[in-house]
Amino acid sequence: MDKLALDGGDKVRPEPFPKRHLFGAQERDAVLALFERAIQTGDAIGYNGPEEQAYEAEFAAYMGGGYADMVNSGSSALYVALGALCLQPAGEVVVPPITDPGGVMPVALLNLVPVVADSLPDTFNAGPEQIEAVLTPHTRAIVVAHIAGEPADMDPVLELARSRDIPVVEDCAQAHGARYRGRLVGTLGSIAATSTMSGKHHATGPQGGVVYTQDEALYWEAKRFADRGKPFNLEIASNVRAGLNLNGNDLAAAIGRIQLSRLPAMVARRREIAGSIKAGMSGLQAVGPGRELDGVESVYWFMRFKVDASLLTVDKAGFTRALAAEGIPVNPSYRHIPAEAAWFRERRVFPGSDYPWGLPDYQGNRDAVYACPNAVEAAESHFCISIHENFTDAEVDSILEALRKVEAAYLR
Ligand SMILES: Cc1ncc(COP(=O)(O)O)c(C=O)c1O
């Protein structure tokens, strides 16, 4: 048996994995063209201008129609999407068990009480039964995130929401281009938010986000809320509601337009790579690809792998340490569980106050604690590898070889 790199053996993968090379000459040229125009005309580069409008139209076209509003981050996009729904303060909003803080904080900042649904066993996404279990007469919306680029089980969630007449907000930050039963995520709920920061599938620069909906009235409300309540599409001369300035801008949009044109190829390549890795793992016993639902086409922001430590002489941490030593860029745990975070547990949304939980109008359970056993179990039993479209067969082979080598060394 090959000696593990951890124990002084040769590394499976001595050379680093390739960088993503997300931004290239096309993005540079698009940005330079805007500067050239600004220099020649004397007009500053702005926002809501032709580039931003074109980007939004192209984004909506990718989604198969509807309306897009570019904003300055994915967190802002979720904040704006929720704000567009005009939910009354002190209502409850169901939030995902595993997600970025920016996928939950906007709920609390709108003075709505986040109520956490557990995940579907063996996955990072909230399950329909787990969502149903936390619905109350105070539920005003459900936020569903498609974590890792894997669509959540949306049909039963949409059915639940319809039966209660509450909207579903899709958080597609990690899942642009993913499909659930043939339909693009983001088109399933009432309104969707996505992040376009530079780690995501397509980026509008270092930071960015988009709000998307097929409902024109929601779109205009989102646009107003994202820009200080300006009376877009209204015959009113003054600002109609309080809001921040969360606008996108033309420079970012110029980058986003190039990136968006590459999205279909990025998504296709990620699927191909993930498919090869999954196929190559069929002979392994203690480690397997994460459970995916039938009928989904994921876009793999990262790939999940499940470890059955009962078959090994080490725990998951030991397994991933050995994988990393072989030269594989592994994330031992994606344990982003908002209910475990200090801001959530200690209720620091508006420091010095326990709002939104303490709002006099809040009629739900102020003391609710969310243990999320399925999410904790999923986080503890899985590790992740961030694959990207610039991987070649050599990277796929390195991952598979390292998985086989480490498993063979530790199998009971
Ligand atoms: C699921 C999810 N929601 C929201 C966000 C927040 O997006 P941003 O970082 O662009 O604010 C992220 C960012 O990673 C995310 O992964």
- Residue bearing the CA closest to ligand 1, atom 9: 74
CA of 213 to the centre of ligand 1 (A): 18
Separation in Å, CA 119 to CA 159, 315, 386: 18, 22, 21
Share of the chain above pLDDT 70, in %: 100
CA of 296 to the centre of ligand 1 (A): 21
* Lookup: tokens for 185: 């995520």
- Residue bearing the CA closest to ligand 1, atom 14: 100
In angstroms, rounded to a whole number, what is the distance separating the alpha carbons of residues 52 and 256?
9
In angstroms, rounded to a whole number, what is the distance separating the alpha carbons of residues 25 and 4?
41
Element spanning 95, H or E: strand 92-95
Structure confidence by residue, pLDDT tens digits, 215-230: 999 999 999 999 999 9
In three-state secondary structure terms, 291 is: coil
Closest atom of ligand 1 relative to the 174 alpha carbon: 16
* Number of C-beta neighbours around residue 135 at 10 A: 18
At 402, the pLDDT band (50, 70, 90 cuts) reads very high
CA of 96 to the centre of ligand 1 (A): 12
**pLDDT for res 285:** 97
Tell me how far apart the terminal alpha carbons of the chain are, to the nearest angstrom. 14
CATH number at residue 329: 3.40.640.10
Which residue type does 73 have?
A: S
CA of 38 to the centre of ligand 1 (A): 32
Q: What is the mean pLDDT of residues 376-400?
A: 97
Contacts for 279-283 with beta carbons within 8 Å, 24 or more apart? 280/396, 280/400, 281/400, 281/403, 283/404
Q: Tell me if 115 CB under 6 Å of ligand 1.
A: no
**Nearest-10 Cα torsion for 189, 167, 102, 177:** 0
Across 311-338, b (16+ Cβ under 10 Å) vs e yields ebebebebbbbbbbbbbbebebebebbb
Quote the pTM value. Answer: 0.97
CA of 100 to the centre of ligand 1 (A): 5
Residues in CB range of 351: below 8 A, 6 or more apart = none
**Residue 1: is its pLDDT beyond 80?**
no
CA of 105 to the centre of ligand 1 (A): 11
Q: What is the mean pLDDT of residues 40-46?
A: 97
- Residue bearing the CA closest to ligand 1, atom 8: 74
Q: If you write DSSP's letter for every residue of 307-366 in order, what string do you get? A: E-GGGBSS-HHHHHHHHHHTT--EES-----GGGSHHHHTT-SSTTS-TTTT-TT--S-T
Query: Nearest-5° angle of CA 21, CA 23, CA 26?
Result: 125
**pLDDT for res 280:** 98
Structure confidence by residue, pLDDT tens digits, 72-99: 999 999 999 999 999 999 999 999 999 9
In angstroms, rounded to a whole number, what is the distance separating the alpha carbons of residues 22 and 263?
11
Q: Tell me if 74 CB under 6 Å of ligand 1.
A: yes
In angstroms, rounded to a whole number, what is the distance separating the alpha carbons of residues 238 and 223?
15
Pocket probe for ligand 1: among 75, 204, 300, 384, the residue whose CB has the most ligand atoms within 8 Å is 75
Residues in CB range of 273: below 8 A, 6 or more apart = 300, 387, 389, 391, 395, 396
Q: Tell me if 173 CB under 6 Å of ligand 1.
A: yes
CA of 235 to the centre of ligand 1 (A): 35
Structure confidence by residue, pLDDT tens digits, 345-376: 999 999 999 999 999 999 999 999 999 999 99
CA of 289 to the centre of ligand 1 (A): 24
**pLDDT for res 310:** 97
Structure confidence by residue, pLDDT tens digits, 137-175: 999 999 999 999 999 999 999 999 999 999 999 999 999
Q: Tell me if 171 CB under 6 Å of ligand 1.
A: yes
Which residue type does 110 have?
A: L
In angstroms, rounded to a whole number, what is the distance separating the alpha carbons of residues 117 and 135?
9
How many domains is the chain built from?
1
Closest atom of ligand 1 relative to the 147 alpha carbon: 1
**Residue 405: is its pLDDT beyond 90?**
yes
CA of 74 to the centre of ligand 1 (A): 5
Query: Nearest-5° angle of CA 125, CA 202, CA 172?
Result: 25
CA of 232 to the centre of ligand 1 (A): 27
**Residue 387: is its pLDDT beyond 80?**
yes
Q: Tell me if 73 CB under 6 Å of ligand 1.
A: yes
3-state percent breakdown (helix, strand, coil) of the chain, nearest 5: 40, 15, 45
Element spanning 191, H or E: strand 191-195
Q: Tell me if 195 CB under 6 Å of ligand 1.
A: yes
- Residue bearing the CA closest to ligand 1, atom 7: 74
Structure confidence by residue, pLDDT tens digits, 230-289: 999 999 999 999 999 999 999 999 999 999 999 999 999 999 999 999 999 999 999 999
Q: Tell me if 80 CB under 6 Å of ligand 1.
A: no
Residue 46 belongs to what domain range? 1-412
Among 320, 311, 314, 322, residue whose Cα is nearest residue 412: 311
CA of 200 to the centre of ligand 1 (A): 9
Q: Tell me if 170 CB under 6 Å of ligand 1.
A: no
In angstroms, rounded to a whole number, what is the distance separating the alpha carbons of residues 394 and 399?
9
**What number of H helices and E strands is found in the chain?**
12, 14
